[in-house]
Structure 1
């Protein structure tokens, strides 16, 4: 991986992490287009730079993290289902991270869902107690967490799955999107920590000393990726919340369908994806 590759992947990550279009799926597609090989470090890079993107949530919503302990307990309740699923299916998930056909299919199917999601859960529908829900209960947080488990499949989109889960619990669009942002913090931090540990464990088994776990260039690539993803995500969060509150999710559904269909056509025609 070159610095140019790292920069492009970080921009893709920053833009897509909080949009319901799958950041992992887009990085897999970008890697294929750029001819980046799925080495252990390159796969680790795609997970770790998500830390930079999700740190932007702390900057934008720092006041929300000074709330009562209930805020953190609800995040924990929503986080637990994906922990169980992630631990049970880790090897299968890693295998899917190299599959462009899987990403193309899930982008297409997820796009169809987003195309109709505003109709299924119109904002004028009352929430529990006859009022729109802006703060989920513990039960609702758990249901949202169960929806997030769908995102272990590349291309589904953690953001999309979590937002759909929130809308199914009658959260407003803004509240569903923001809860998805908050839930990204424990989820992606745990994913990055687990991948870093596995990377270290494999290196240790191969006889690599901890001090030599990353080369100087790999450290610089990780730093560059996280910084760029952080800056780009700051802008993406603000734009996304305003857009989805006003216009809904239909545009993202159309985008996913177009991208997924084009990829499936390219794969069906056996055309090379490496064009850059």
Structure 2
């Protein structure tokens, strides 16, 4: 039985790592995978959020040179301070809105209709953003962003609180619509993910600590490891991919997945809730 549980944890870790940073909603895929595996109780929901830490560690390693250089330069370079402040500015709106509306959103918006609609609508927005991308770019690199640009991306990240939207999708595509290049929007989305997902994971573990025990450590450890490895591979692949490709395939995937949500809900196979 223990081996089966660890296998489920490994699969969920891979799903998290492969979907967290793509514009396709990791939450939606974790709900579907959890339902298919019978891994969807209250403890599993805490697990889904906690293993984001593994995915974030992968981002930190991929971007280590930029992160370490920025931290070292904070006392002396205005650019390093400006970049760090921009990440902080973009981080704040989601924190405030999450504390105020997080519970209400989970109770009222996790319905098949909402999840399917946001998947499909998000796909259409990606198609629109890609069509106008070349004409609207004014920021080629994250170091060119202003505080106003950062707060706009931070506000766009709040849209991802709607189930099925995708945090990465909202920040990357939102950034593109705000004038960031595909690469700049992707890079800033990854940097912004570091405080956002670490904060969400820590808050979830603290809030639901009563559900956990020392016996859960192997399950969480396996999930973190597989989340880390798959996210590391996915982030490196995505950075290569966007150098010569658009996000259009992800748009069509989202539309197809929205149809999957309607089908699995209509047939009673999956309960779409968080």
Runs of 4+ in 1 over 4 A off after TM superposition: 96-101
Mapped partners of 1:102, 1:3: distance in 2: 32
Shift of 1:14: 0.5
Number of the residue aligned with 2:14:
11
Mapped partners of 1:215, 1:97: distance in 2: 30
Mapped partners of 1:44, 1:97: distance in 2: 19
Number of the residue aligned with 1:210:
none
Unaligned runs of 5+ in 2: 71-79
Number of the residue aligned with 1:257:
255
CA contact (8 A) 1:19 1:159 kept: yes
TM-score (norm 2): 0.87
SS of the residue 1:191 aligns to: helix
CA contact (8 A) 2:137 2:180 kept: no
Number of the residue aligned with 1:207:
none
SS of the residue 2:234 aligns to: helix
Mapped partners of 2:142, 2:197: distance in 1: 23
CA RMSD for the aligned pairs? Answer: 2.0
CA contact (8 A) 2:116 2:258 kept: yes
CA contact (8 A) 1:10 1:226 kept: yes
TM-score (norm 1): 0.86
Number of the residue aligned with 2:238:
240
Give the one of 51, 54, 63 matched to 1:52: 54
Shift of 1:60: 0.6
Number of the residue aligned with 1:160:
169
CA contact (8 A) 1:29 1:100 kept: no
Mapped partners of 1:58, 1:144: distance in 2: 20
Number of the residue aligned with 1:123:
134
Please show how residues 164-203 of structure 1 align to structure 2 within 5 Å: 164-200=173-209, 203=210
Q: Can you list the C-alpha shifts for 1:207-249, whole angstroms capped at 9, x where unaligned?
A: xxxxxx6334311111111111011111100111221231111
Number of the residue aligned with 1:206:
none
Mapped partners of 2:112, 2:17: distance in 1: 20
Unaligned runs of 5+ in 1: 204-212
Give the one of 208, 221, 238 matched to 2:219: 221
**Residues 101 and 48 of structure 1, relative CA distance in 2, 3 Å threshold:** farther
Mapped partners of 1:191, 1:125: distance in 2: 33
Mapped partners of 2:39, 2:137: distance in 1: 48
**Residues 217 and 123 of structure 1, relative CA distance in 2, 3 Å threshold:** farther
Number of the residue aligned with 1:109:
121
